[in-house]
Structure 1
Amino acid sequence: MKSFRNKLIEILPQSSEEQRKAMAIEMMRSQCLPSQFKDLLLCEKTGRRFSWMISNLAQLNPEYLVRDLPTLWEIAEKVEGFDFKSSFTNYWRYCGVPSSQETIAINYLMEVLEKNKHTTTIQSRALRVMQKVILQHPDLSQELVAILIANYPLYERGMQQRVGKFLKHKKSELLQFALFIFLF
């Protein structure tokens, strides 16, 4: 593990996407979890690129990363210099939300959609994850719709289009449900 850590310290500061993918593969082969290298997240020189490498890990093997997400969230509270928490919109997108993190994830994702302080990319990922969450928790659907409608004018054009598609789909679902009830 020590030699792998040294390799990460050496490569990460100037790493390319290809190098980070290779390091993610090596991390899995070494049976290491990202949280074992929390010092790299806390380091200004390596933190952001290490978070990108974790995204590579999420894409390559979601099942491998999902078990480490709760620990990484705890570390996110301590990370300074960049918004590591926003990376979770990507991690949850690929890995799903672990049941132990559902409450935290729902609160964070709703906050991302409600407060217009994140990029369109982060907001879009948050909406994608929430779409999956409301399949398991339909009771959150109305709250999500209310947040999206209230913030629609504040979103950038790309996010407005994404929200528009989501709301159109929701409207269709509600009409089908109402028709079903009316007919029976």
Structure 2
Amino acid sequence: MNPVTRMKEAADFYSELESSLAGSTEAQRKAWATLLVEQNGDLKQLSGLLRCDRKTATRFLWMLSGVGIMNPGKLYEALPFLLEYVEAINPAYLTSFANYWLIAGVPPQNEGKAIDLSFEWLISAETNVTIKSRAAFVLLKLTRKYPELKNELRFCLEDQMDKYSKDFKKRAVKNLKDLEE
């Protein structure tokens, strides 16, 4: 396919997402994510969708998770750009990265930011339990590379585990056991 045709198709796909994401179903987002993976679509070219209304942007973030589940490497390669972009345009969307890092891993250039954000989410009373749990798992994975984080993670988990649901406590206890290994 020639470059002009490819650019037109990319523009058409972007327009379709821009007009349809807000009212999309999970099945539609999965189909679009599949298309992105199969056609080797550039996730960076779609990042402008994060500037759309909140509903469109949120569904785009969900679709990115779908891409990552199907092809973690595809999401992984876009994460450094997406992190910088999201931080610049709407930091409220940063919590999605707890899921992305869990799915695809943390790129080396984002490790410092991932550690800072994950600890911030883990100890914040404003963060929901799902994000806290994902942040804890991301940090647990990072302790393999940075064992010096173990004590801080242990302290945070012990501090937080009785403040939330029984399920969160169960996950925190499991994470604490995993820290001992």
- Tell me which interval the TM-score lies in, with the shorter structure as reference length: 0.7 to 0.9
Q: What residue identity is the alignment partner of 2:35?
A: E
- Secondary structure, counterpart of 2:140 in structure 1: helix
User: What is the CA–CA distance in structure 2 between the aligned matches of 1:135 and 1:84, rounded to whole Å?
Assistant: 27
Answer whether contact 1:116 1:155 (CA < 8 A) is retained: no
Query: 2:141 aligned to 119, 132, 141, which one?
Result: 132
Aligned-pair distance for 1:153? 3.1
Q: Percent identity?
A: 35
Unpaired runs of at least 5, structure 1: 174-184
Q: 2:125 aligns with which of 116, 122, 135?
A: 116
Aligned partners of 1:36, 1:98: CA distance in 2, in Å? 19
User: How far apart are 1:128 and its partner, in Å?
Assistant: 1.3
Find the structure with the greater CA-based Rg.
1
- Is residue 52 from structure 1 mapped to residue 42 from structure 2 by the alignment? no
1:97 maps to a residue whose letter is: V
Q: Secondary structure of 2:88's match?
A: coil
1:94-152 deviation per Cα after TM superposition (whole angstroms, max 9, x unaligned): 10101111101011111111112111111111111111111111111011101112233
Q: TM-score, normalised by structure 2?
A: 0.87
Is 2:151 the counterpart of 1:142?
A: yes
* Pairing partner for 2:173 from 156, 164, 180: 164
Match of 2:96 in 1: 87
2:169 corresponds to which letter in structure 1? Q
Q: Measure the CA separation in 1 of the matches of 2:56 and 2:33.
A: 14
TM-align CA RMSD:
1.7
Match of 2:78 in 1: 68
Structure 2 gap ranges (5+): 1-9
Distance in 2, Cα, partners of 1:166 & 1:12: 36
- State how many pairs are aligned: 171
